[in-house]
Structures are given as structure tokens and as C-alpha cells.
Amino acid sequence: MPCAINPSIYGEVKKFSLLFRTAAPFPHIVIDNFLDESVANALIENFPDNSSMHRCHHYLFANKRELSSWNKISSSFDSLHQNLLSEQFQSFIRAISGEDLFMDAEFCGDLHQGSDGGFLKMHTDFNLHPSQDTWVHRLNVMIYLNKNWQQEYNGDLQLRKGLKGGIKEISPVFNRCVIMLSDDTTYHGYTRLNLPQNMTRKSIVVHFYKEESPNKVPRRKMTTWAPDEESFLLNENSTKLYNSLTSLKNRLLGSSAAYKAKRNK
């Protein structure tokens, strides 16, 4: 099997680094033709059916399916996993971000899949690794596997800095990778899908971390949802209450991500 990640990206690290640092509304880059095309096609062919993936448990804010331990699905997924873990790619990530970041080999992220009517409300991600208290979540790598994607399908990735401000939209087209900063201001999501029968929005999401000394580690924070001004049910007060209750539940019982991290070991 050929190298999963297109080797040409490594020759453009200076360009990508500049684009990352200067991007609006917050640091990110878009890389097309990110994977070797034959590997990308194999990933689509081996992508799990919706029925074998778990429904996201934030029912009010997300309608999508998820699956961890994706590196075990097939040889193409294993090849991608090994390439993402390679020193060459992790050096690429460090050069772009300007930080000493790394990927966890065991808790490697999730596959995401959305069907017609699916959505993901604007949110920021968890800030610490599920089971490593000094690993700060700093970066997301999102790889899209959607052939013949049309504008009328909706589902563009939306980026916004903070709770207010302009939104940048990025189409989730086949073999596109988005690398974005993750902190408590990097809100992202996607609009309600309008898909034909038997078509889904497929992506692979991988997290990168930075190890900090214990005295520099922030207080643990889970996924935080933004209010939806167009929804009476998801107004500012109800969203704030939901975020607080979710945070309390995770402090008392632990997070679902922590469970997945332990299960993967």
C-alpha cells in the first residue's frame, strides 16, 4: 500500500505555517489532496455503515454517528494511523503550529458520519486528554471523505472565534484536510444536512496534544455548546444550564471519552 499521506505536503510546510498563523477567524489551514487518492478511496470503501456506529450522546446539539478505534477497521485505516503517528507528520504539525504537539497512538480520535437531517451545533472541544491530566488538547486534524459533494447538501464546516462574530465556511469535499487550533474560543460545527438517499457526510477527526507541567494545566473542561439564537429550546440560559450539568456529570462519573480511551488500551 502506498504512503497514506500525500508526501508533497511536506515540501510546503513554510507556506502552510504562514497560512495557519494568519488565518481568520482563528488559526487553521485547508489542505486539498491530503491523502494518496488510492488510499482515500480505500478508506471510503471500508468506512463503517451508520448502523455500526454510536449516536452522539449530545442529542439536542448533534445528530451524527461516531466510532473510535478506527485504526483497526482495515489495512487502509491502519496505514493512515501509522502515517499520522510518524515522526515526519508530527514534525509537520509542530512546524505549522509552532508548538511541541503529539498524537496519542491509543486514543486516536473518531470517525464521524452524518445522514440526511444530521447536524452539529457550534461548540468548543474538550481541553484535556480523557485520561492524561497534563495533556492539553491543542489541535484537530479533520479529513473529509465525501465524493461528488454538492453545495445544496449543506454541511459546510463552520468556524467562528468566540460566541459572536463572522463565520467562515469550508466545504467537506473529498480528500480535504482541515487542521485547526482547539481552545475555548474556537467554535465550530456544521449546518443541517440535506442529503440524497444512501449518501452520508464522512470524516476522520484526530486530536493533537501538548504536555504541560501540572501547575500550567487548566481546569478540565468538556465540550461546550454555544447558544442557538434561532432556537427557543437552545437559548442562552438553557445552553448554559446544559453545559453546567454536563460538566458536573463528568466530574462525578467521568466522561464518555475517558471510557473510550480506557477501552482502546
In the chain, the amino acid numbered 55 is R
Whether residue 25 lies inside any domain: the answer is yes
Q: Please give the grid coordinates belonging to residue 148.
A: 461528488
Residue whose C-alpha cell reads 461548540 in the numeric block: 123
Q: What is the pTM of this model?
A: 0.91
Alpha-carbon span 107 to 70, nearest angstrom: 10
At 233 the pLDDT is 65
- Report whether 123 contacts 239 (CB < 8 A): no
Q: Determine how many CB atoms are found less than 10 A away from the CB of residue 102.
A: 16
Backbone torsions φ then ψ of 81, nearest 5 degrees: -55, -45
Q: Over the stretch 187-211, which tens digit does the pLDDT of each residue have?
A: 999 999 999 999 999 999 999 999 9
Whether residue 169 lies inside any domain: the answer is yes
Number of domains in the chain: 1
Q: Please give the grid coordinates belonging to residue 84.
A: 499520522
Whether residue 16 lies inside any domain: the answer is yes
Q: What is the DSSP string of the chain?
A: ---SB-GGGGGGHHHHHHHHHH-SSSSEEEEES-B-HHHHHHHHHHPPPGGGSEEPS-TTTEE-EEES-GGGS-HHHHHHHHHHHSHHHHHHHHHHHSS--EE-SSS--EEEEE-TT-EEEEEE--SB-SS-TTEEEEEEEEEE--TT--GGG---EEEEESSSS--EEE---TTEEEEEE-STTEEEEEPPP---TT--EEEEEEEEEEE--GGGPPPP---EEPP-TT-STT-HHHHHHHHHHHHHHHHHH--HHHHHHHHH-
Whether residue 132 lies inside any domain: the answer is yes
51-60, 147-156, 159-168: which range is least confident on average? 51-60
Q: Check which CATH number belongs to the domain holding 20 and give it.
A: 2.60.120.620
Q: Give me the domain span that covers residue 216.
A: 7-264
**Cis amide linkage into residue 172, ω under 30° from 0:** no
Alpha-carbon span 241 to 191, nearest angstrom: 23
Q: How confident is the model at residue 261 (pLDDT cuts 50, 70, 90)?
A: very low
Whether residue 2 lies inside any domain: the answer is no
- Report whether 127 contacts 250 (CB < 8 A): no
Q: Over the stretch 19-64, which tens digit does the pLDDT of each residue have?
A: 999 999 999 999 999 999 999 999 999 999 999 999 998 878 999 9
Whether residue 30 lies inside any domain: the answer is yes
In the chain, the amino acid numbered 69 is S
Whether residue 41 lies inside any domain: the answer is yes
Whether residue 1 lies inside any domain: the answer is no
